[in-house]
Structure 1
Amino acid sequence: MKMTWIAAFVCVVPLAAGCGGSAPSGAVSASGGHAEGGSIKIGSLHPLSGAAAADGQQMENGAKLAVEAVNSAGGIKSLGGAKLELLSADTQGKPEVGQSEAQRVVSEGAVALIGTYQSAVSATVSSVAERNKVPFVIDASAADTLLSQGYRNTFRIPPGSKMMGIDGAKYLSEVSKAAGKPAAKVAILHEQGPFGTTVKDAFTTEAKRLGMQIVSSASYDAASVSDFTTQVTAVKASGADVLVVTGYYRDGVLIAQAVKTVKPGLAAVYGVANGAFDIPQFPAEAAGAGDGFFDANYHADAKSPQTKALAAKYKAAYGAEIRTVAVLSYEAIRVIADGLERAGKAEPAALRDAIAKTRLDSLMATNGPISFDQTGQNGNAIPILMQVQGQKVVQVHPVDKAEAKPVYPAEPGR
Structure 2
Amino acid sequence: MRKPWIAAVAVAMPLTLAACGGSAPPGTEGTGGGGGASGDAITIGSLHPLSGAFAADGQQMDNGAQLAVDAVNEAGGIECLDGAQLELASGDTQGAPEVGQSEAQRLIQEGAVALVGTYNSAVSQNVAAVAERNQVPFVIDVSSADEILQQGYEYTFRLQPSAAVLAQRGAEYLAEVSEQAGAPAQQVAILHEQGPFGTAIAEGFTAEAEAQGMTIGPVISYDPASVSDFTTQVTAVRESGADVMMVAGYYRDGVLVANAVDTVQPGLDAVWGVANGAFDTPQFPGEVGEAGEGFFDANYRLDMTNPETQELAELYRETHGDDIRTAAVLSYDAVRVIADALGRACSTDPTELRDAIAETELDSLIAQDGPIAFDESGENTNAAPILMQVLDGTVQQVFPSEYAETEPVYPAP
1:3 aligns with none
Residues 11 and 355 (structure 1), Cα distance of their counterparts in 2 relative to 1, 3 Å cut: closer
2:144 aligns with 142
| Aligned residue among 12, 24, 32 for 1:18 | 12
Output the CA distance in 2 between the equivalents of 1:16 and 1:391. 40
Residues 80 and 184 (structure 1), Cα distance of their counterparts in 2 relative to 1, 3 Å cut: same
Output the CA distance in 1 between the equivalents of 2:272 and 2:205. 12
**Other structure's SS at 1:16 match:** helix
Output the CA distance in 1 between the equivalents of 2:180 and 2:374. 34
1:114 aligns with 116
Give the counterpart letter for 1:116 in structure 2. Answer: T
Which of 258-267 and 30-39 deviates more? Answer: 30-39
Aligned pairs for 1:244-255 (under 5 A) are 244-255=246-257
1:106-158 Cα distance to aligned partner (Å, 9 max, x none): 00000000000000000110011000000000000000000000010000001
1:42 aligns with 44
1:59 aligns with 61
Using the TM superposition, give the Cα deviation of residue 288 of structure 1 relative to its aligned residue in structure 2, in angstroms: 1.9
Q: Which runs of 5+ in 2 are unaligned?
A: none
| Aligned residue among 61, 66, 73 for 2:75 | 73
RMSD over equivalenced CA pairs, Å: 1.8
1:383 aligns with 385
| Aligned residue among 313, 336, 339 for 2:338 | 336
**Other structure's SS at 2:191 match:** strand
Output the CA distance in 2 between the equivalents of 1:262 and 1:185. 18
Output the CA distance in 2 between the equivalents of 1:381 and 1:355. 16
Residue 283 (str. 1) matches residue 277 (str. 2): no
Using the TM superposition, give the Cα deviation of residue 89 of structure 1 relative to its aligned residue in structure 2, in angstroms: 0.3
2:157 aligns with 155
Output the CA distance in 1 between the equivalents of 2:267 and 2:309. 37
Output the CA distance in 2 between the equivalents of 1:215 and 1:35. 53
Q: Which runs of 5+ in 1 are unaligned?
A: 1-6
Residues 20 and 215 (structure 1), Cα distance of their counterparts in 2 relative to 1, 3 Å cut: same
Give the counterpart letter for 1:19 in structure 2. Answer: M
Residue 104 (str. 1) matches residue 113 (str. 2): no
Give the TM-score taking structure 1 as reference length: 0.95
1:335-377 Cα distance to aligned partner (Å, 9 max, x none): 0000000001111111000000000000000100000000000
1:222-256 Cα distance to aligned partner (Å, 9 max, x none): 00000000000000000011010000000000000
2:131 aligns with 129
**Other structure's SS at 2:357 match:** helix
**Other structure's SS at 1:43 match:** strand
Aligned pairs for 1:186-335 (under 5 A) are 186-335=188-337
Output the CA distance in 1 between the equivalents of 2:379 and 2:36. 32
Give the counterpart letter for 2:113 in structure 1. Answer: V
Output the CA distance in 2 between the equivalents of 1:36 and 1:147. 31
1:189-221 Cα distance to aligned partner (Å, 9 max, x none): 000011101110110011011111113110000
Give the TM-score taking structure 2 as reference length: 0.95
1:252-301 Cα distance to aligned partner (Å, 9 max, x none): 00000000000011111000010000000000111221000000011111
1:29 aligns with 27
| Aligned residue among 372, 375, 387 for 1:373 | 375
Identity, % of aligned pairs? 61
Give the counterpart letter for 1:216 in structure 2. Answer: P
Which of 88-97 and 23-32 deviates more? Answer: 23-32
Residue 89 (str. 1) matches residue 91 (str. 2): yes
Give the counterpart letter for 1:263 in structure 2. Answer: Q
Contact 1:14 1:74 in 2 (8 A): no
Give the counterpart letter for 2:78 in structure 1. Answer: I
Residues matched between the structures, number:
405
Output the CA distance in 1 between the equivalents of 2:211 and 2:311. 41
Residues 151 and 208 (structure 1), Cα distance of their counterparts in 2 relative to 1, 3 Å cut: same
Output the CA distance in 2 between the equivalents of 1:37 and 1:105. 16
Using the TM superposition, give the Cα deviation of residue 168 of structure 1 relative to its aligned residue in structure 2, in angstroms: 0.2
Residues 337 and 130 (structure 1), Cα distance of their counterparts in 2 relative to 1, 3 Å cut: same
Contact 1:28 1:40 in 2 (8 A): no
Using the TM superposition, give the Cα deviation of residue 12 of structure 1 relative to its aligned residue in structure 2, in angstroms: 6.0
Residues 290 and 18 (structure 1), Cα distance of their counterparts in 2 relative to 1, 3 Å cut: same
1:158-181 Cα distance to aligned partner (Å, 9 max, x none): 111011111100000000011111
Output the CA distance in 1 between the equivalents of 2:387 and 2:38. 49
Output the CA distance in 1 between the equivalents of 2:13 and 2:64. 23
**Other structure's SS at 2:332 match:** helix
**Other structure's SS at 2:57 match:** helix
1:180 aligns with 182
Output the CA distance in 1 between the equivalents of 2:8 and 2:74. 8
Using the TM superposition, give the Cα deviation of residue 186 of structure 1 relative to its aligned residue in structure 2, in angstroms: 0.7
